[in-house]
């Protein structure tokens, strides 16, 4: 007899849908299939025809950015693990991937990551995988130890220089360091992954100066200051390095049609490149009157970019979707700061899946199977945690969500326990709502109420099943079904 059976549902994976459910024992999936084939259980949940999906994975979050304070702080990181993981389960996210860095750039990265792991294990409701920021040559020596700790993804923000770098608490990074890091990471082997924030800073500085001089202070000016070509320029530079080295390159928060076309080119040449986008780049427009509230880097753009990104999700050019969640506050966005001085970023982990379901599946832009692929399986494959995560397979972690695909509701910031006190989607009606969220077989959310306790979540290094029966694919499967 197993611990739990979820029955009478429609089980959806990237390979299709079937009537039935899943059986869970010891926090693992032990069976998937028709109700009649599932074993007896100590507890049975009848979901009455609702969709049963693998837990969603958010590959792009920033624990520790909150309250309008620049940079990442250790105490803010710890508290965000609690508040933002509680927000995540309301939206069906069961695993988050966050950057972690606090301390001096002169110090080893290893102690910071060890502290971050402790905070995750003590304070989170969802599971976490961690990435970090290498800042200088000294950090090259940390690579083997970081890999042993299960930290295999490293983010470079070559788009920040000067005042912009200071404003967000980052440090300038030279392209030469990116090259040397990618070379060493490739030598150490898969699934070592270089993550790239791609925006060409010198072009941006020139455009900002022009627009400020012209008296512009609107959301569209932020897009014009950071044009799609600035994103594509950095994708091109680092993409060619990846081509030369055979390195794995992950381009975060792609926002423009130019960069999607460039990623498609590199993929056609066999480069091990992955593209991520976010709901704001699929849905929101730079002519929206929200102004500085919707300021983010890279900026929100226009319909032509939306269309190319949706196409990229369908054809596999864009591999996955993240939120770029940061728990910043209205105070840091206050209107008198304007577009040039307000803090970039906004929350999104709790609305990521609902928006993709409502604006993607229900609008006919992607299928539900494609949504599961780009929001769960592909991310697990890219980051080396498949099939422990991102799958409904025997032996996988029992991360499961139950979804009423037709239930309509209104997004309100007050409905989320985030440290952030606003959402750019305030008042938006969406179709489809997560009704139950399970993390490794533990019910952590039911009917809009967070039931999971702090500390349910665990740090996830590499999958214990890595390389067996579903090993990571350098080219994640195309999104078509």
Q: For the chain, 481 residues long, give each residue's pLDDT as a single digit of tens.
A: 999 999 999 999 999 999 999 999 999 999 999 999 999 999 999 999 999 999 999 999 999 975 444 556 899 999 999 999 999 999 999 999 999 988 777 889 999 999 999 999 999 999 999 999 998 888 999 999 999 999 999 999 887 777 776 666 667 788 999 999 999 999 999 999 999 999 999 999 999 999 999 999 999 999 999 999 999 999 999 999 999 999 999 999 999 999 999 999 999 999 999 999 999 999 999 998 888 999 999 999 999 999 999 999 999 999 999 999 999 999 888 766 789 988 899 999 999 999 999 999 999 999 999 999 999 999 999 999 999 999 999 999 999 999 999 999 999 999 999 999 999 999 999 999 999 999 999 999 999 999 999 999 999 997 655 555 443 344 433 333 2
Residue 342 to residue 339: CA distance in whole angstroms: 6
326: tokens are 């940061």
Question: Which secondary-structure segment (H or E) carries 187?
Answer: helix 175-188
Cα dihedral: 239, 353, 376, 28 (round 10): 150
- Rounded to the nearest 5°, which phi and psi values hold at 422? -155, 165
DSSP E strand boundaries for 76-168:
93-99, 127-131, 153-156
Q: Which among 359, 348, 344, 354 has a CA at the least distance from the CA of 309?
A: 359
Tallying the residues shown for the chain, one arrives at 481
- Angle at which helices 303-315 and 257-268 pack, to 10 degrees? 30
Q: Which domains does the chain have, with CATH numbers?
A: 55-382 (3.20.20.140)
pTM of the model: 0.95
Instruction: Please give, one letter per residue, the 3-state secondary structure of 28-68.
Output: EEEEEECHHHCCCEEEEEECCCCEEEECEEEEEEEEEEECC
Task: Report d(CA 383, CA 161) in Å as an integer.
Answer: 28
């Amino acid at each position: 007899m197993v611990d739990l059976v979820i029955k009478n549902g429609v089980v959806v994976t990237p390979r299709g849908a079937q009537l039935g459910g899943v059986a869970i024992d010891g926090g693992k999936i032990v069976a998937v299939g028709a109700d009649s084939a599932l074993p007896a259980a100590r507890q049975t949940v009848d979901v009455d025809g609702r969709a049963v999906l693998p837990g969603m994975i958010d590959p792009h979050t920033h624990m520790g950015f909150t309250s309008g304070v620049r940079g990442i702080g250790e105490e803010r990181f710890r508290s965000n693990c609690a508040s933002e993981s509680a927000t995540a389960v309301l939206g069906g996210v069961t695993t988050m991937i966050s950057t972690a860095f606090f301390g001096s750039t002169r110090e080893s990265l290893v102690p910071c990551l060890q502290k971050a792991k402790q905070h995750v294990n003590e304070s989170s409701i969802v599971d976490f995988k961690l990435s970090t920021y290498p800042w200088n040559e000294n950090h090259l020596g940390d690579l083997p130890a970081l890999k042993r700790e299960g930290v295999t993804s490293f983010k470079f923000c070559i788009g920040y220089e000067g005042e912009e770098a200071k404003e967000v608490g980052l440090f300038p990074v030279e392209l030469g360091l990116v090259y040397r890091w990618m070379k060493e990471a490739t030598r150490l082997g898969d699934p070592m992954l270089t993550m790239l924030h791609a925006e060409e800073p010198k072009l941006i500085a020139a455009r900002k100066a022009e627009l400020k001089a012209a008296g512009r202070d609107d959301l569209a000016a932020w897009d014009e200051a950071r044009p799609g070509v600035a994103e594509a320029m950095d994708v091109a530079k680092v993409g060619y390095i990846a081509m030369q080295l055979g390195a794995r390159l992950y381009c975060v928060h792609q926002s423009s049609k130019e960069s999607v076309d460039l990623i498609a080119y590199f993929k056609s040449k066999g480069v091990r490149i992955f593209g991520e986008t976010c709901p704001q780049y699929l849905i929101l427009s730079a002519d929206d009157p929200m102004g500085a509230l919707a300021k983010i880097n890279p900026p929100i753009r226009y319909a032509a970019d939306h269309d190319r990104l949706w196409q990229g999700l369908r054809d596999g050019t864009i591999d996955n979707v993240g939120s770029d969640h940061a728990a910043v506050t209205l105070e840091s966005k206050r209107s008198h700061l304007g577009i040039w001085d307000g803090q970039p970023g906004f929350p999104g982990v709790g609305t990521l899946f609902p928006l993709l379901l409502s604006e993607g599946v229900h609008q006919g832009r992607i299928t539900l199977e494609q949504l599961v692929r780009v929001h769960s399986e592909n991310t697990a494959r890219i980051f080396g945690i498949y099939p422990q995560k991102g799958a409904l397979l025997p032996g996988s972690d029992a991360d499961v969500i139950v979804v009423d695909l037709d239930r309509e509701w209104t997004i309100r910031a007050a409905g989320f326990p985030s440290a952030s006190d606003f959402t750019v989607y305030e008042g938006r009606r969406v179709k489809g709502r997560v009704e139950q969220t399970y993390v490794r077989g533990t019910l952590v959310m039911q009917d809009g109420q967070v039931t999971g306790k702090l500390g349910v979540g665990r740090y996830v290094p590499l999958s214990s099943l890595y390389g067996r029966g579903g090993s990571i694919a350098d080219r994640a499967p195309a999104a078509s079904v």
